[in-house]
Amino acid sequence: MAILKIARAGHPVLARQAKPVADPTDPAIAQLVADMVETMADAGGVGLAAPQVHASLRVIVFFVPPQRAADPEAAEGTSGGPVKLTCLINPQIDPLDPAIDEDWEACLSLPGLTGKVPRWRRIRYRALSLAGDEIDREAEGFHARVVQHEIDHLDGMLYFRRIRDLATFGFVEEVQRAKSHAQAQRAASEVSR
Q: How far is CA 168 from CA 10, 57, 106, 163, 189, in A?
A: 20, 31, 12, 8, 24
Catalytic residue among 73, 76, 102, 150: 150
Instruction: Compute the C-alpha angle 58/172/123, nearest 5°.
Output: 40
Count H helices, E strands: the chain?
3, 8
Which residues are registered as beta bridge partners of 61? 48, 87
Backbone angles phi, psi at 85, to 5 degrees: -50, 125
How are strands ordered across the β-sheet holding 113-120?
100-105, 113-120, 170-171
Handedness of CA 43, 30, 158, 101 (dihedral sign): negative
Active-site residue 150, yes or no?
A: yes
Which residues are registered as beta bridge partners of 19? 57
Question: Which residue numbers are catalytic?
Answer: 150
